[in-house]
């Protein structure tokens, strides 16, 4: 076990927390408030933010789409540069937050911002970023990752850089009240699979990380079980905090990760526009069945510690079945066809995209080559 850890994002958690914006944003700063398609105007969050910022100098940029595009974000970068913006405030879910991470880095770079996604440029400078979270799922509000899509070429790429980690994140669980049911279910499952990607790898006697991962997974199973009775403060607060902690950094310290479900899932979103969490539920069960011998020890642990399954030679197989049932019960697809993807060449297109993005040896053993990805996707068709 060897790691270095720091998460400097200040978290303001609670039902009254949006008010704290007033003190968190320096009065002298020139703020760009960035949001998505306008849900914040319909649910009162915009009004709460503007009230907190009545003494600040605030400009706005709206229209960041789900799975934010380079094309839209480039317009925000132009605005930041032209207006001398020096603080960006993201008010939204993972898409708006990721989009803002791109904006704060690309605004300090003279070249084409897409270089940040391809790895041609590594940012050493970014504007400060703050977040008001409206959708618990991605953990983007306090991590250093961002995923951006170039619509023109259907490339959905990610970058990771501590320099874009938000200075603060405001987590008010009441925002969940107006979140569509589909997004609430997506949020539970995205967080669940974030923990899996950091947990279902090698057995390494990392007691803290394993134990914490299992608490978070059990919470998410419980939140899913209470889905029909979810209209209460306890459910909302526990979902928001669990989803945050799933990708906050602690679970992943000093352990082997395997983000291959996410890598394959991103291609499904890029080509077919399927919601992020729904791509993961399609890929993961099939991927785990394909890689079961590498992951049997941890799958056994998941089966007994999270799903309370009886011991037995087929515990790992039953743990994967339990995952699949969890996803189906919440209404998420576990096959491409259940997400409406029925074209005969779908798997060919997805595999070609993986190859284009050099995803040719993924998984903790680099054992998932293109032929294996093809088999995983065929199994998930």
Q: Where along the sequence are the contacts to ligand NZQ (CB under 6 A)?
A: 36-39, 43, 66-67, 92-96, 98, 134-135, 137-140, 143, 145-147, 175, 178-179, 183, 186, 190, 247, 262, 276
Q: Which of 296, 326, 324, 327 is nearest to 312 (CA)?
A: 296
Query: Nearer Cβ to Zn ion, position 196 or 319?
Result: 196
Q: Please identify, among the stretches 52-60, 185-193, 236-244, 266-274, the one whose residues bind Zn ion according to the rule CB under 5 A.
A: 185-193
Least distance CB 74 / Zn ion (angstroms) = 24
Q: Which residues of 302-327 are buried (b: 16+ CB within 10 A; e: fewer)?
A: bbebbbebeeeeebbbbbbbbbbebb
Query: Nearer Cβ to ligand NZQ, position 183 or 373?
Result: 183
Least distance CB 32 / Zn ion (angstroms) = 26
Q: Sign of torsion, CA 292 297 303 306?
A: negative
- 104 is in the binding site of which of Zn ion, ligand NZQ, none (Cβ under 5 to 8 A by kind)? none
| C-alpha triplet 180, 222, 323: angle, nearest 5° | 85
Least distance CB 61 / ligand NZQ (angstroms) = 13
Q: Please identify, among the stretches 3-11, 52-60, 189-197, 236-244, the one whose residues bind Zn ion according to the rule CB under 5 A.
A: 189-197
Least distance CB 1 / ligand NZQ (angstroms) = 23
Residue 67, φ and ψ in degrees, nearest 5: 60, 75
Residue 364 in the binding site for Zn ion (CB under 5 A)? no
Q: Please identify, among the stretches 122-130, 144-152, 187-195, 351-359, the one whose residues bind Zn ion according to the rule CB under 5 A.
A: 187-195
- 98 is in the binding site of which of Zn ion, ligand NZQ, none (Cβ under 5 to 8 A by kind)? ligand NZQ
Query: Nearer Cβ to ligand NZQ, position 69 or 300?
Result: 69
- On whether the CB atoms of residues 40 and 64 are closer than 8 A, the answer is no
Of positions 12, 174, 190, 258, contacts Zn ion by CB under 5 A: 190
Helix/strand/coil (H, E, C) string of 286-301? HHHHHCHHHHHHHHHH
Query: Nearer Cβ to Zn ion, position 198 or 291?
Result: 198
Query: Please, which residues have CB within 8 angstroms of residue 181's CB and are 6 or more apart in sequence?
Result: none
| C-alpha triplet 199, 140, 110: angle, nearest 5° | 125
- 245 is in the binding site of which of Zn ion, ligand NZQ, none (Cβ under 5 to 8 A by kind)? none
Query: Please, which residues have CB within 8 angstroms of residue 270's CB and are 6 or more apart in sequence?
Result: 67, 149, 154, 155, 156, 353
Q: Which of 21, 27, 92, 86 is nearest to 51 (CA)?
A: 21
Query: Nearer Cβ to ligand NZQ, position 95 or 373?
Result: 95
- 100 is in the binding site of which of ligand NZQ, Zn ion, none (Cβ under 5 to 8 A by kind)? none
Least distance CB 198 / ligand NZQ (angstroms) = 12
Distances (CA, A) of 98 to 34, 71, 288, 318: 11, 14, 28, 36
Query: Nearer Cβ to Zn ion, position 29 or 140?
Result: 140
Least distance CB 209 / ligand NZQ (angstroms) = 18
Residue 258 in the binding site for Zn ion (CB under 5 A)? no
Q: Which residue minimizes CB distance to Zn ion?
A: 190
Q: What residue ranges bind Zn ion (CB under 5 A)?
A: 190
């Amino acid at each position: 076990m060897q790691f270095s850890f720091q998460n400097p994002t200040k978290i303001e958690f609670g039902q009254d927390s949006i008010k704290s914006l007033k003190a968190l944003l320096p009065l002298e700063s020139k703020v760009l408030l960035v949001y998505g398609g306008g849900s914040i105007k319909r649910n009162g969050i915009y009004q709460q933010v503007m009230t907190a910022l009545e003494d600040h100098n605030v400009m706005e940029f709206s229209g960041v789409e789900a799975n934010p595009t380079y094309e839209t974000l480039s317009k925000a970068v132009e605005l930041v540069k032209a207006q001398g913006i020096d603080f960006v405030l993201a008010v939204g879910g993972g898409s708006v937050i990721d989009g803002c991470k791109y904006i704060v880095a690309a605004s300090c770079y003279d070249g084409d911002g897409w270089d940040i996604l391809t790895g041609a440029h590594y940012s050493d400078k970014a504007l400060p970023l703050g977040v008001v979270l409206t959708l618990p799922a991605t953990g983007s509000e306090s991590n250093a990752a961002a995923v951006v899509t170039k619509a023109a070429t259907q490339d959905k790429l990610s970058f990771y850089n501590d320099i874009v980690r938000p200075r603060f994140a405001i987590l008010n669980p009441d925002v969940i009240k107006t979140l569509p049911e589909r997004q609430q279910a997506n949020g539970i499952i995205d967080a669940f699979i974030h923990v899996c990607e950091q947990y279902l790898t090698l057995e390494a006697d990392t007691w803290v990380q394993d134990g914490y991962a299992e608490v978070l997974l059990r919470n998410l199973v419980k939140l899913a079980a209470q889905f029909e009775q979810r209209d209460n403060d306890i459910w909302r607060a526990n979902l928001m905090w669990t989803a945050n902690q799933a990708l906050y950094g602690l679970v992943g310290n000093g352990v082997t990760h395997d983000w291959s479900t996410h890598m394959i899932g991103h291609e499904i979103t890029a080509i077919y526009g399927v919601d992020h969490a729904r791509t993961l539920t399609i890929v993961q069960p099939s991927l785990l069945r394909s890689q079961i011998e590498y992951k049997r020890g941890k799958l056994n642990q998941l089966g007994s510690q999270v799903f309370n399954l009886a011991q037995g030679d087929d515990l790992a197989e039953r743990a994967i079945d339990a995952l699949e049932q969890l996803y189906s019960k919440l209404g998420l697809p576990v096959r491409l066809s259940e997400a409406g993807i029925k074209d005969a060449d779908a798997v060919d297109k997805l595999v070609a995209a993986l190859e284009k993005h050099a995803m040719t040896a993924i998984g903790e053993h680099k054992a998932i080559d293109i032929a294996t990805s093809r088999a995983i996707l065929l199994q998930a068709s």
